[in-house]
Amino acid sequence: MDKSRVAAFTDAVVAIIMTIMVLEFKTPETYNWSGILDEGTYFFAYAISFLFILVAWYNHHYMFALAPRITKRIFWINNAWLFSMSIIPVSTAWVGKFMMNKAPEYFYLIIFLFWSLAYESLTKEIIKASKASGHKEIAKKIASMPPYRLLNSWRSLILYAVVLVMIQYFPPMGLLVTLAELLYMAFHTTDDSDQIA
């Protein structure tokens, strides 16, 4: 498929998902500072999800820049990845409203997990397609992306198990650990990750 058109369509969807989350800020009913300070918890969840989507985009950009061709299979796994991200505004709104409660924190993690699986599948499919068309060097580069290696390892499973327990005692650990994981993924990238166009 036309790689630039698929990337542009993907980018439009991602940009909209990221930006419509701002609609969840309700205009304060009062002109006192308390009006805006009440939005504090949603602001915290909003900032984390904003970071989430940008980290996802950065890695998507890298993979798509390298991918030799967008096959029908890659297109549909890319769509599943978009679908999982399209639920982020829902989970963000809920956890931003009830940050100290278990169900919203678990739900936020479930969407994160769903996104991780879609991202892993997308990466694997692009690696497979690269190998199939003889681009072994590209397959190797994509397979060495730190976020992919993290999500595709026992480390992330253990992390999930630990977080699931921690939420029982202090629910906001769901968001906090997600934030830590996102910062890790934002900083740890392959050296050439911003040198490919």
Closest Cα to residue 122, out of 160, 178, 153, 82?
82
Q: What angle do CA 57, 63, 65 make, to 5 degrees?
A: 100
Q: Counting Cβ atoms within 10 Å, is residue 128 exposed (0-12), middle (13-18) or buried (19+)?
A: middle
What does the alpha-carbon distance between residue 22 and residue 117 come to, in Å, rounded to a whole number? 26
Positions in 155-194 near a second copy (CB under 8 A) = 186, 189, 193-194
At closest approach, how far in Å is the CB of 44 from a second copy?
13
Looking at 98, 121, 166, 179, which residue binds a second copy (CB under 8 A)?
98
Looking at 38, 41, 44, 50, which residue binds a second copy (CB under 8 A)?
50
Angle, nearest 10°, between helix axes 88-97 and 3-20? Answer: 20
Binding of residue 103 to a second copy (CB under 8 A): yes
What does the alpha-carbon distance between residue 152 and residue 117 come to, in Å, rounded to a whole number? 9
What does the alpha-carbon distance between residue 152 and residue 142 come to, in Å, rounded to a whole number? 13
Identity of the residue numbered 175: L
At closest approach, how far in Å is the CB of 154 from a second copy?
28
At closest approach, how far in Å is the CB of 147 from a second copy?
14
* C-beta closer to a second copy: residue 61 or 149: 61
* C-beta closer to a second copy: residue 82 or 159: 82
Residues that bind a second copy in the complex, under the rule CB under 8 A: 1-3, 5-9, 11-20, 22-25, 27-28, 31-33, 35-36, 39, 47, 50, 54, 57-58, 61, 65, 70-72, 75-76, 79, 83, 86-87, 89-90, 93-94, 97-98, 101-104, 107, 186, 189, 193-197
